[in-house]
Structure 1
Amino acid sequence: MKELSFLQILKDKMITPVFQPIVSLRDGSILGYEALSRGPKGKFESPVALFEAANTHDKLWKLEQICRTKALEAANELQIAGTLFLNVNPNIMQDPKFKTGFTKAYLKNYDYVADNIVFEITEKEAVDNIADFRKTVDNYKAQAYRIAIDDAGAGYSGLNMISDVRPHFIKLDMQLIRNIDRDATKHSLVKSMCDFASMSNTLLIAEGIETEGELLKLIDLGVHYGQGYFIKRPLANPTPLDEAFLTIVKNANTKRNNMPGVRISDVTIQSICTRLPTLHPKTSINDVHKMLRDKATLPGYCITHHNDLVGVITRHQVHAKMSGQYGYSLYAKRPIKQIMNTSFLAVAHNTPIDEVAKRAMARTVDQLYDFITVTKDQQYLGIVTVKDLLETTIQIEIDNAKHLNPLTELPGNVLIERELESCLHNQRDYAVLYFDLDNFKPFNDLYGFEKGDLIIKLVATIMKATVSKEHFIGHIGGDDFIAIVNSHEVDDLCQMMLTMFDDAVPQFYHEEDVRRGFVTTKNRHGIEEQYPLLTLSIAGIVNESFTTTYAIAEQATALKKLCKQRPGSNFISTHHAGVLS
Structure 2
Amino acid sequence: MAIAMIKNNLKQEYFNILKKQEITTYFQPIISLKDGGVLGYEALSRGPANSHFHYPDELFHYAKKVNKVWELDLLCRLKAIEKAKETISDKLLFINIDSDIIKDIKFKKGFTKEFLRHHNIDTNHIIFELTEHTAVSDYKTFNQIIENYRHQGYRIAIDDAGDGYSGLRLMTEIRPNFIKIDMALIRDIDKDMMKKELLKSFQQFSHITNIQVIAEGIETSEELKTLIEIGIPYGQGYYIQRPSEGFVAISPKLMEEIQRLNQQNKKIQRLPTTLTIGMLQRRDSPLQQDDTCDKANNIFSESYNLQGIVVLKEKKVIGLIMRHKFYYQMRKEGNQNNFLLRPLSSIMNHAPLVLDHSINIREASNIAMSREESTVYDYIIVTKGEEYSGVVPIAYLLNAFAQAGVIHEAEVSKNQNLLHLMEKPVYLDA
Which residue among 178, 182, 187 is the counterpart of 1:173?
Answer: 182
**Could you say which residue in structure 2 is the equivalent of 1:13?**
21
1:155 deviation in Å?
2.9
The one-letter amino acid paired with 1:236 is E
Where do residues 274-313 of structure 1 align in structure 2 (5 Å cutoff)?
A: none
| Alpha-carbon spacing, 1:212–1:104, altered in 2? closer, same or farther (3 Å) | same
1:259 deviation in Å?
2.0
8 A contact 1:19–1:34 mirrored in 2: yes
**Could you say which residue in structure 2 is the equivalent of 1:137?**
146
**Could you say which residue in structure 1 is the equivalent of 2:235?**
226
- Asked if residue 250 in structure 1 is aligned to residue 259 in structure 2, the reply is yes
Where do residues 330-341 of structure 1 align in structure 2 (5 Å cutoff)?
A: none
Q: Tell me the SS of whatever aligns to 1:181.
A: helix
**Could you say which residue in structure 1 is the equivalent of 2:226?**
217
8 A contact 1:375–1:381 mirrored in 2: no
Which residue among 72, 79, 87 is the counterpart of 1:63?
Answer: 72
Q: Deviations over 1:199-235 (max 9, x none)?
A: 1101000111111111111111111100000000111
User: Relative contact order, CA 8 A, sep 6+: which one is greater?
Assistant: 2
8 A contact 1:19–1:236 mirrored in 2: yes
Q: TM-score with structure 2 length normalisation?
A: 0.61
Larger mean CA deviation between 243-252 and 194-203 belongs to: 243-252
**Could you say which residue in structure 1 is the equivalent of 2:371?**
none
The one-letter amino acid paired with 1:24 is S
**Could you say which residue in structure 2 is the equivalent of 1:439?**
none
Runs of 4 or more consecutive aligned structure 1 residues displaced over 2 Å after TM superposition: 77-81, 293-297, 371-376, 379-383
**Could you say which residue in structure 1 is the equivalent of 2:38?**
30
Q: Tell me the SS of whatever aligns to 1:197.
A: helix
Where do residues 84-233 of structure 1 align in structure 2 (5 Å cutoff)?
A: 84-233=93-242
Q: Deviations over 1:410-461 (max 9, x none)?
A: xxxxxxxxxxxxxxxxxxxxxxxxxxxxxxxxxxxxxxxxxxxxxxxxxxxx
Q: Tell me the SS of whatever aligns to 2:171.
A: helix
CA distance in 1, matches of 2:411, 2:47: 57
8 A contact 1:375–1:382 mirrored in 2: no
Q: TM-score with structure 1 length normalisation?
A: 0.46
The one-letter amino acid paired with 1:15 is I
| Alpha-carbon spacing, 1:93–1:213, altered in 2? closer, same or farther (3 Å) | same
1:156 deviation in Å?
2.7
1:185 deviation in Å?
1.5
8 A contact 2:90–2:125 mirrored in 1: no
1:51 deviation in Å?
0.1
Structure number, greater radius of gyration? 1
Q: Tell me the SS of whatever aligns to 1:131.
A: helix
Q: Deviations over 1:249-287 (max 9, x none)?
A: 0111001111225x959x99xxx99xxxxxxxxxxxxxx
**Could you say which residue in structure 1 is the equivalent of 2:292?**
none
Q: Deviations over 1:99-145 (max 9, x none)?
A: 12211111101111111111000010111321100101111111121
Q: Deviations over 1:7-54 (max 9, x none)?
A: 110111111111000000000000000011000122011011110110
**Could you say which residue in structure 2 is the equivalent of 1:280?**
none
8 A contact 1:20–1:234 mirrored in 2: yes
Q: Tell me the SS of whatever aligns to 1:248.
A: helix
CA distance in 1, matches of 2:272, 2:175: 34
Q: Tell me the SS of whatever aligns to 1:151.
A: strand
8 A contact 1:208–1:228 mirrored in 2: yes
8 A contact 2:26–2:45 mirrored in 1: yes
CA distance in 2, matches of 1:205, 1:382: 31
| Alpha-carbon spacing, 1:100–1:252, altered in 2? closer, same or farther (3 Å) | same
8 A contact 1:20–1:35 mirrored in 2: yes
RMSD: 2.9
8 A contact 2:42–2:94 mirrored in 1: yes
The one-letter amino acid paired with 1:70 is K
CA distance in 1, matches of 2:186, 2:207: 19
**Could you say which residue in structure 2 is the equivalent of 1:43?**
52
CA distance in 1, matches of 2:116, 2:138: 28
1:77 deviation in Å?
3.9
| Alpha-carbon spacing, 1:260–1:40, altered in 2? closer, same or farther (3 Å) | same
8 A contact 2:28–2:242 mirrored in 1: yes
CA distance in 2, matches of 1:20, 1:206: 13
The one-letter amino acid paired with 2:138 is N
8 A contact 2:43–2:96 mirrored in 1: yes
Q: Tell me the SS of whatever aligns to 1:233.
A: coil
Where do residues 456-475 of structure 1 align in structure 2 (5 Å cutoff)?
A: none
8 A contact 1:91–1:128 mirrored in 2: no
Structure 2: which 5+ runs fail to align?
A: 1-8, 281-302, 308-398, 413-430
- Asked if residue 240 in structure 1 is aligned to residue 245 in structure 2, the reply is no
| Alpha-carbon spacing, 1:153–1:375, altered in 2? closer, same or farther (3 Å) | closer
Larger mean CA deviation between 180-189 and 113-122 belongs to: 180-189
Larger mean CA deviation between 26-35 and 183-192 belongs to: 183-192
1:79 deviation in Å?
4.9
**Could you say which residue in structure 2 is the equivalent of 1:302?**
none
8 A contact 1:209–1:230 mirrored in 2: yes
1:159 deviation in Å?
1.1
Q: Tell me the SS of whatever aligns to 2:269.
A: coil
1:295 deviation in Å?
5.1
| Alpha-carbon spacing, 1:256–1:91, altered in 2? closer, same or farther (3 Å) | same
| Alpha-carbon spacing, 1:213–1:104, altered in 2? closer, same or farther (3 Å) | same
| Alpha-carbon spacing, 1:250–1:11, altered in 2? closer, same or farther (3 Å) | same
